[in-house]
Amino acid sequence: MAGPRPGEVNKIVLAYSGGLDTSVILKWLQQTYDCEVVTFTADLGQGEEVEPAREKAQAAGVKEIFIDDLREEFVRDFVFPMFRANALYEGIYLLGTSIARPLIAKRQIEIAREVGADSVSHGATGKGNDQVRFELGYYALEPDIKVIAPWREWDLDSRTKLLDFAGKHQIPIARDKMDEPPYSTDANLLHISYEGKVLEDPWVEADEGMYTRSVSPENSPDTPTYIEIDFEQGDAVAIDGEKMSPATLLTKLNELGGANGIGRIDIVENRYVGMKSRGVYETPGGTILIAAHRGIESLTLDRGAAHLKDELMPRYAELVYNGFWFAPEREMIQVAVDESQKHVSGTVRLKLFKGSVTVVGRKSPVSLYSEQHVTFEADTVYDQRDAEGFIKLNALRLRLLNARKG
């Protein structure tokens, strides 16, 4: 046993969904460590009722049960800061799963302190990124916490064994959960992911019936939808002039994007633990949001600041993907990103049509765009003759290089 041994643990806080895996984990923890287990269920906008988890935990003898609505905190303090950076992992993935893990870890540690627990536990497997993300968060916030990762400890290494364990210990499992699903999913307000099973062959196209948050682009409306998003200092604050809270705004963008077939990607990504993994994602609202954010930045960000941000972005995205949300380098980059957003305010108009998002208009009271300077008509603010010296100075090194060749 690599984790803490029985007798070394006094109280455990378990990240608990009430599904098959964490229901079995709850019983296994109670049996293995013979101590009190506290359950914590986070509502991150996954689209499922979380209250049934309370009944299941009570039936399992849990005395302290935490069910927290974290949707606003999730979008305000995690999703929005990440979107200020325009973060994309490997150029395409909007980090929907990755960005949820530090919030879950943070709240788990807060609960552990509140109830006097010396240990935390999660349901991530020993093959994936989530075990790393959870545990880096735990240790960053509480260096001496004990971590129990059952999938790295037990011999219940198949769904059949999990179901046998559940049956033996009379753990109730919903009838629709008894059959093995064709893929594994993870969902929150930003996205839903699909991995494993039939998707493990990267040549096989995902079945249309799998998708839950968007219609197919082919079946989306034949007329475009136009929307306007208002930004204040880099964060979206309103849709079509209606002010909304962060979670409400992202929910609305999900509806608009899903109805127009927006936000589907099918990728093979490089996991932090070393292997490649095929994942299919639906991120309708996030796909609209990043396009809109880049649209308003194009009008309000200085060129040097914008290009530096683009250089920092891959590193930022990698830190989030690998689980280093609480690392000083991520926080350092965040300070630079947030400094750049002081004047990123204004309105972006977008066209949503058959899976695409197109910025078709942008305006800002602090715009750096000068129509006087860029016009093709005669002007009085720019002397085109100045360009000659500019070009010659920039060409000087190239001319000297050419002279050396001669």
* Positions marked active-site: 21, 101, 130, 184
Closest CA to 152 of 124, 175, 118: 124
Q: Pairing state of beta strands 65-69 and 119-121?
A: unpaired
Count the neighbouring beta carbons within 10 Å of the beta carbon of residue 240. 13
Q: How far is it, in rounded angstroms, from Cα 130 to Cα 323?
A: 8
Q: Pairing state of beta strands 356-363 and 346-353?
A: antiparallel
**Residue 26 and residue 37 in contact, taking contact as beta carbons nearer than 8 Å:** yes
Rounded alpha-carbon distances, angstroms, from residue 108 to 102, 103, 142, 260: 10, 8, 11, 37
Q: Pairing state of beta strands 36-43 and 65-69?
A: parallel
DSSP 306: H
DSSP state string for 41-110: EEESS-SS-STHHHHHHHHTT-S-EEEEE-HHHHIIIIIHHHHHTT--BTTTB--TTGGGHHHHHHHHHH
Helices (H), 85-184: 101-115, 130-141, 159-168
- Token readout for 128 is 């994936």
For the CA atoms of 87, 91, 93, 98, what is the dihedral angle to 10 degrees? Answer: -50
Residue 379, Cβ density class (10 Å: 0-12 exposed, 13-18 middle, ≥19 buried): middle
